Homo-oligomer: A and B are copies of this chain.
Amino acid sequence: MVYLTRVEHFNAAHKLYNPSWSKEKNDEVFGMCANENWHGHNYELYVTVKGEPDTDTGFLYDAKKLSNVIKEKVTEKLDHKNLNMDVDFMSGQMCSTENLAVAIWQQLEPYLPKEIQLHCIKLYETPRIFVEYFGVKV
């Protein structure tokens, strides 16, 4: 079994604000991240898939096709967007990097071909903070 990772990029705005809390509690818990006028990040997204390389091509999966499906199903819906306002699959939940990584797994996993398995979504919020999600173990 071999693991293949493709790195993609998107820029987005968000804020961390729980509408069931007071403004004071939001400021206390989220600090500068609760700024009502938004802030944003350059996110770096690492998508890792696993499987057996094909003997005719030597490929686990064509990295160009993997890039295309990530762009179509994920990054085009997030790039230059407001995560709280513009992204249907983040509505009704906090726009933390943790929740975003899990949501990206759920968006992408159904569209990968049967011969490969999604292994990890790794998402850099800044160069010094990142989150990893490996799916639900069954």
Please classify the interface of chain A as helix (H, G, I), strand (E, B), loop, or mixed, using the class held by over half of its residues: mixed
Which of B56, B62, B94, B102 has a CB less than 8 Å from the CB of A18?
B56
A132 in contact with B18 given A39-B40, A41-B11, A81-B39 (CB within 8 Å): no
Q: Is the CB of A80 within 8 A of B39?
A: yes
> Do B5 and A132 touch across chains, with their CB atoms under 8 A apart?
yes
Q: A16-B57, A99-B58, A129-B63 are in contact. Are A80 and B33 (CB under 8 A)?
A: yes
Per the bound structure, the CA–CA distance linking A31 and B65 in Å amounts to: 11
Proximity bits, A1-36, B CB within 8 Å = 1, else 0: 111111111011110101011000000011111010
Q: List CB contacts (< 8 Å) of A36-95 with chain B.
A: 37-42, 48, 53, 55-60, 62-64, 79-82, 85-86, 93-95
Residue in chain B with minimal CB distance to A60: B98
Residue of chain B at shortest CB distance from A7 = B128
